[in-house]
Amino acid sequence: MARAGGGMGSAVNVGIAVQADWENREFISNISLNVRRLFDFLLRFEATTKSKLASLNEKLDSLERKLEVLEVQVSSATTNPSVFN
């Protein structure tokens, strides 16, 4: 039977390496998690900003349309100045 771990004669070395690996990976996963949090934040930020811009856009739109009406009314008055004299 081929024994599993035939080369684990230097088990202590592997153990030390594994230990170091855990610690290194703690650092790596910490960084990568925080990068992901950063991106998550950015995504959320984009989403809310989009919503807010959309609501602003909506208000501007309706103002614009009101303004247009007013303009038409004013122009109807200025083209017939005689009415106001």
Partner 1 sequence: MAIPVEEAIAALSTFSLEDEQPDVQGLAVLLSSERYATNSPIEYSDVAAYRLSLGEDTKAINQLNTLIQEGKEMASLLYTYRSCVKALPQLPDSMKHSQADLYLETYQVLDLEMSRLREIQRWQASAASKLAADMQRFSRPERLVNGPTITHFWSMLKLLDVLLQLDHLKNAKASIPNDFSWYKRTFTQVSTQWQDTDTMREELDDLQIFLSTRWAILLNLHAEMFRTNTVEDILQVLIVFCVESLELDFALLFPERHTLLRVLPVLVVLATSSEKESESLYKRVKINRLLNIFKNDPVIPAFPDLHLSPAAILKELSSYFQNFSSQTRLLTLAAPHEIPPRELQDYQRHYLILNHMGTIRAEHDDFSIRFASAMNQMIILKSSDGADNDWSRDIKGNMYDTVVEGFQLLSRWTGRIWEQCAWKFSRPCKEPPISDSQQDSTTFFDYEKVVRWNYTAEERRALLELIGYIKSIGLMMQHCDTLVSEALWETIHMEVQDFVQDKLDKMLRTTFRKKKDLSRILSDMRTLSADWMANTSKADPEQHSLHQETEETRQNTFYPRPVAPTAAQIHCLQFLICELVSGGNLRKPGGLFGNNGSGIPVEDIKQLETFFYKLSFFLHILDYTATIGTLTDLGFLWFREFYLESSRVIQFPIECSLPWMLVDHVIESQDAGLLESILIPLDLYNDSAQHALTCLKQRFLYDEIEAEVDLSFDLLVQKLNEIIFTYYKSCAASTLLDSSFTYACDDGEKYFVKPLRFDAIFKLRRVMILGRTVDLRSLITQRMNKLFRENIDFLLERFENGDLCAVVELQQLLDILELTHQLISRFLELDSYSLMLSEMQENLSLVSYSSRISSQMWNEMQSDFLPNFILCNTTQRFVRSLKGAHHNSQRSSVSAGKPYFYCGSHDLTMAYQGLAGLYRDFFGIPHMFAIVKLLGSRSLPGIIRALLDHISSKITAMVPKITALQEALPKSIGLLSFDGGIAGCQKIIHEILTWEAKSEVKIEVLHDLKEIGSALYWMSLLDIVLVSIFP
Binding site for partner 1 (CB under 8 A): 1-8, 10-11, 14-15, 17-19, 22-23, 25-26, 29-31, 33-34, 36-41, 43-45, 47-48, 50-51, 54-55, 57-59, 61-62, 65-66, 69, 72-74, 76-77, 80, 83
CB of 72 to partner 1, least distance (A): 6
The helix/strand/coil state of 4 is coil
CB 77 within 8 A of CB 83: yes
Angle CA 25–19–2, to nearest 5? 110
The position carrying tokens 């088990």 is 11
Least distance (Å) between residue 83 CB and partner 1? 5
